[in-house]
Structure 1
Amino acid sequence: MTQGQERLFVLEASGGGRLFSVNPDGSDKTFLVTGCRIPDGIAVDAAAGHVYWTNMGVPQENDGSIERVDLDGGNRTTIVPSGVTHTPKQLHLEAADRKLYWGDREGMRVMRCDLDGSNVETLVQTGEGADDRRDETRWCVGVAVDPAGGHLYWSQKGPSDAGRGRILRAGIDPPAGHDAAGRGDVEVLFEGLPEPIDLEVDLAEGMLYWTDRGDPPRGNTVNRSPMHPADGRRTPEILFTHLMEGIGIALDPEGGHMYVTDLGGSVYEAGLDGSHGKEILVVQGNLTGIARAVVAASH
C-alpha cells in the first residue's frame, strides 16, 4: 500500500511569484514553480496529482489567470487564460462537483469552472464597470462551498482596515430566473468586519473559519462561527491573533489542526480552537494562499 505523506502547499507573492511545499513541521521546503504573476489562491487535487493556483496579474489590467501543475512541479499549464478572470483570489476545489471556485476581486464576482478550465461561469456579480470597481466593498476575495447544504460562501473585504468587510452566503447556483447580478437569495452573515480575506469550512462540525488582515484587535486574526447557529446569532470567535496581515488558511479537521499564512512571511500551526499556536516557518517572503493535502510519498 502506498504510504501517504502530509504536505503543505504555499504561495509566495514576492520573489517573482513562487509555489513551494513543506512538511507540516516546516521542514523539507521544496520549490515547485517560479515566475507566477502574483499568485494568491491555491487548491490541491491529491488523487489526480494536481496543484491549482490563481495569478492576480496586474490588478488594473484585467489579466488574471489560473494555472495547474503536477505535485512534483512538472507539466505546468494555464487552464484559465489571462483576461478571462480579472483578479482571481482564493481558490477552492470542490470534490463533489469537480469544479474550481474563486473570488475575483476587481472583477467583483465569484466564479467557477471545470478542472480543465472549461465552462467558466459567474455565480455572483456585485458590480460592473470602472465606477463600481473603485468601491472596494464590492471586491470578492475569499470563497468556500458547502455542497451538501447547497451553499456558497464568500468575503467582500472592503477598503483596507476600514471595518466595512462582509461575509455572505447564497445558493451555489443562482435561483431560476435570476442572473449573477440580480440574485434574490444572498444573505449577509457578517458585516462591519475589519477586512476579511480567505474562508474555510469544517463541514463535519458546521463551522466557518476566516482570516482577517484588518486592524487589531479584531483584525490580523483567525476567526470562526457556526455556519447555522442554533439561536440565529452570529458572533465571530477570535481564535488566533497578532498575524502580520493574515491571508491564507487551511484546515485539517481530522487531525485537529489549522495552518495560516501572512504577508509578513510566516506559516503558523494551531489547534482548530486556536490553541497551541506556533510559527513553523518565518521570513519566507509575502505569503498568500495555503493548502494541505496527503500525497503519495513519492511526491
Structure 2
Amino acid sequence: MIARVNPQGGETEVVRYGSRYPTPYGITVFETSIIWVDRNLKKVFQASKEPGSTEQPAVIRDNINMLRDVTIYDQRIQPSSAQQLNNNPCLETNGGCAHFCFALPGNQTKKCGCAFGNLGTDNEGCVVSRDDYLIYTTESAVQSLHLDTDDHGLPFPVVNVPGTSVALDFDRTDNRIYFTQSSGAGSSKISFISLSSPTSPPVVVASDLGAPDGIAYDWINKRIYYSDYINQTINSMAVDGTQRSIIAHVPRPRAIMLDPCRGYMYWTDWGTNAKIERSTLGGNFRAEIVNSSLVWPNGLTLDYEEQRLYWADASLQKIERCSLTGANREVIVSTAIYPFAMTMYGQYIYWTDWNTRSIYRANKHDGSDQRVMTQNLPSRPMDVHVLASNKQQQCNSPCQQFNGGCSHICTPGPQGAECQCPSEGRWYLADNKHCIPDNGTRCQEGQFTCMNGRCIRAQWKCDNDNDCGDGSDELERVCGSKNDFQTSVQVQMAAAFIALSAFHTCEPTVFTCGNGRCVPYHYRCDHYNDCGDNSDEVGCLFSPCDPNTEFPCNNGRCISKDYICNGINNCYDNGTSDEQNC
C-alpha cells in the first residue's frame, strides 16, 4: 500500500493498494507523480500522486537487485528564489540563526534551533548547555548526554579523538574537559577541549606518557592527577604539563578520585591482590581501605556530601560502597554485567558497561530505579562524569598563601600543606619544604638548608639578612609577609635590637647589628655602615678632626683636605659629603 496524509495530520488517503504493489520500499514525490521502488519486483515505478487514479504505473527501471530508496535530483525540488519560497524568513543568512532555521510555508515567523547546546539569550545563537549533563568517552570520542533521557539533543558536539580515549574529568571554572589518549608507550597524551569553543581542536597538555588509564582534576589547586598503567604509577602535574610528581608506585593502577577539600585521594589496583587505597594528595599516609573480595575494581567515585566511596567490580559484576575509611561496606547493584567506570550525582550513580555498550543510572542508596541513559553505542563506553558546578565544592587550601611554604609543588593534606619535588632531576626535600639539588650533602639538625645547598643556623632565617647568599632564607614563602616586621625595625630600633638579638644569635667574636646581622667586630666604629642600619656606628667616640689638615665627613670620619672634590667618595658615606659644593 502507498498512502498520504496532510502535514497537520488528519485522515489517511490511499494512493495505491493491492497485490500489484507487494513491497514498496522507498518513495519520492516529483511534481504530479510519485516514484517508488519495489524490492521483490526489482523495479522502479512512476504513477500519479492523486488518490483514485486507475492508470497503470509506468516501469522506469527493471531488474535491479536490493532496491532500497529513490530520490529526484532536480533544481525544481529545491527552489531558492524568494518568489518560489513565498519570502521564507530563513532564505537569507539562515534567518540569522546560528544552526537551524525553521519556518512553515507562508509563515513569516522563524524559529531557530541548535544542533548542540541551547539557544542564547537572543534566541538565534547557540551556546554550550548551561545545564548539568553527562560527559563520557568512547574508544574514539568525547561525547555528552542530557540527564533527561527524553532530551536527545547534545550539550556540545562530539569530539573525535585520535588513538583510544579512556578517562576524562572536567574543570567547571575554566570550562575545560581533560581526557586521556592512549597512543602507545611514551607517546600517550592528556589533552583538553574548551567548552567556550568546543569545535576548536583539543589542546595537548602532555604527550610523552605511558598509558594513562585514569584521570582526576584537583579544581582547588589546579593540578591533574593520573594513573599510568605501563609505568605503574600514580602521578600529578600542573595544568600546563610541568611540575610533574610521582605520588605512588602501584602494580595495576586504574581509577582515581580526589577529595581536595579533605586532602585525600583514592585509587583502585586490580593487580594480583586487588585493592582500593587511600593517601594524602602528596602520597603520604598511604593505606589499604578495601583489600578483600575484589577482582577487577574498575570504576571509582565519591559522594562528598555523605562521605561514601563507591566502586564497580567488572569480574564480580556488582557495585559497592563503604565509608571513606573502608568501613560499613555494602552492595548497591548486584546485576551489573561489565561495569567499567562510574560517577555520582545527586541521588544517583551512573556507570558505563562494556558488554552492553550502554550507560546506566540507579539510586545511590539501594540500586533501585535503574534506567538506561543511552545504549547501542558504536564502541565501548569508557569513563563517565556529570558536569555540574556543585560537584566541585570550593574550600580554602593551605597552598594558596606563599605556596604553603613549598619551594616547588604544594599539595593540601588533612593536616596542612605537603611539599613535593619534581620527578625530573635529582632532588631531596629539605626541612619538608625545600627541593634542593641532591649532591649528597645534608644539613645538620638545627640548621636551615638554603636553596643553593648552603647550611646556616636556623635562627638566621627571616632576620632581614641574606645569610644564604641566594636570598632563600628571606623568601616570603619561608618568612611570610615582612612589612610589619620591617616597620617595627625602622620605628623602634632599640626594641628591635633586643628582639632580633635573641632571635638571631651571633658568634661571641662578632658584633650583633640592630637588625640581627652579624659583622666582624673590627667593623664597629669604622665610619662605615656595615650593618645596613648604621647600628655599628652608634655610640662611637671619634677623635675630633684637625681643622688645619683634615676634613670632617658627615659620618664622623676624618680625611685629608687633599681628598676634597677629587671625584671620589673618600668619606664613604651616603651623602658623599667630601664631594658636595665642589
What's the TM-score bracket when you normalise by the shorter of the two chains? 0.7 to 0.9
2:282 aligned partner:
173
Distance 1:262 1:118 in 2: 34
* CA apart distance, 1:62: 3.5
Distance 1:270 1:36, change over 3 A: farther
Q: Distance in 1 between matches of 2:297 and 2:329?
A: 11
* 1:189-215 deviation digits (Å, cap 9, x = unpaired): 11230210122111221101112111x
Give the equivalent residue in structure 1 for 2:297. Answer: 196
Q: Is the 8 A contact 1:18 1:39 kept in 2?
A: yes
Larger helix fraction of residues: 2
Using a 3 Å threshold, how does the CA distance of structure 1 residues 122 and 206 change in structure 2: closer, same or farther?
Answer: same
Shift of 1:282: 0.9
Query: In structure 2, what is the equivalent of residue 35 of structure 1?
Result: 161
Residue number in structure 2 paired with 1:226: 323
User: For residue 133 of structure 1, what is the aligned residue in structure 2?
Assistant: none
- Give the drift of 1:220: 2.1
> Residues 138-184 of structure 1: CA distance to partner in whole angstroms, max 9, x if unpaired?
1111111222332221111126xxxx311011121144xxxxxxxxx
Distance 1:6 1:148, change over 3 A: closer
Distance 1:174 1:280, change over 3 A: closer
In the aligned structure 2, how far is the partner of 1:48 from the partner of 1:124?
28
Please name the residue that 2:60 is paired with. Answer: none
1:141 partnered with 2:254: yes
The answer to whether the 8 Å contact 2:142/2:161 transfers is no
Tell me, yes or no, if the aligned pair for 1:18 and 1:31 is still in contact at 8 Å. Answer: no
Correspondence 1:260 to 2:260? no
**Matched residues in 1 for 2:331 and 2:229: separation?**
25
Q: In structure 2, how many angstroms separate the alpha carbons of the residues matched to 1:211 and 1:114? A: 29
Whichever structure has more strand as a proportion of its residues is 1
In structure 2, what is the Cα distance between the partners aligned to 1:221 and 1:56?
27
- Pick one of 217, 232, 235 that aligns with 1:93: 217
Return the alpha-carbon distance in structure 1 between the equivalents of residues 334 and 187 of structure 2: 34
**Counterpart Cα distance in 1 of 2:270 and 2:186:** 19
Partner in structure 1 of residue 112 of structure 2 = none
Match of 2:145?
Answer: 22
Matched, 1:155 2:268: yes
1:200/1:209 contact within 8 Å kept: yes
CA contact (8 A) 1:107 1:139 kept: no
Counterpart secondary structure, 1:158: coil
Quick one: which of 355, 376, 385 aligns to 1:291? 385
**Paired residue secondary structure (1:145):** strand
**Whole-Å Cα distance in 2 between the matches of residues 36 and 198 of structure 1?**
24
Which residue identity does 2:275 align to in structure 1? Answer: R
Q: CA 1:174–1:261 in 2, change beyond 3 Å: closer, same or farther? A: closer
Q: Which has the higher contact order (CA 8 A, sep 6+)?
A: 1
Q: Distance in 2 between matches of 1:6 and 1:148?
A: 22
Cα contact 2:227–2:256 (8 A) shared by 1: yes
Look up the SS of the partner of 1:5 in the other structure: coil
Change in Cα spacing, 1:235 to 1:194, as seen in structure 2 (3 Å) is farther
Quickly say closer, same or farther: Cα 1:173–1:223, change in 2 above 3 A: same
Contact kept? 2:275, 2:290, Cα under 8 Å: yes
TM-score where L is the length of structure 2: 0.41
Q: Does the 8 Å contact 2:263/2:281 carry over to 1?
A: yes
Q: State the SS of the aligned residue for 1:4.
A: coil
- For residues 131 and 305 of structure 2, what CA distance do their matches in structure 1 show? 23
Superposition deviation, residue 235 in structure 1: 5.2
In structure 2, stretches of 5+ residues that fail to align are 1-119, 122-128, 390-582
**1:120 equivalent in alignment to 2:213:** no
With over 3 angstroms needed to count, the CA separation of the structure-2 counterparts of 1:278 and 1:24, relative to structure 1, is same
Shift in alpha-carbon separation, 1:23–1:95, aligned structure 2, 3 A = same
Structure 1 match to 2:373: 280
Match of 2:14 in 1: none
| One-letter amino acid of the structure 1 residue matched with residue 352 of structure 2 | T
In structure 2, C-alpha distance between the alignment counterparts of 1:294 and 1:168, rounded to whole Å? 26
- Paired with 2:341 and 2:200, the residues of 1 have a C-alpha distance of 24
Moved more, 203-212 or 240-249: 240-249
Determine the C-alpha separation between the residues in 1 that align with 2:148 and 2:271: 34
Q: Output the CA distance in 2 between the equivalents of 1:261 and 1:153.
A: 20
- Deviations 1:210-266 (Å, cap 9, x if unpaired)? 12111xxxx22221101136xxxx3532212333321121211xx312211111211
Within the alignment, does 1:55 sit opposite 2:156 as a pair?
A: no
Question: Distance in 1 between the 2:234 and 2:199 partners?
Answer: 28
CA shift, 1:31, in A, is: 4.3
Q: Return the alpha-carbon distance in structure 1 between the equivalents of residues 247 and 144 of structure 2.
A: 31
Report which of the two structures shows the higher radius of gyration computed on alpha carbons: 2
Matched, 1:243 2:336: yes
| Percent of aligned pairs sharing the same letter | 17
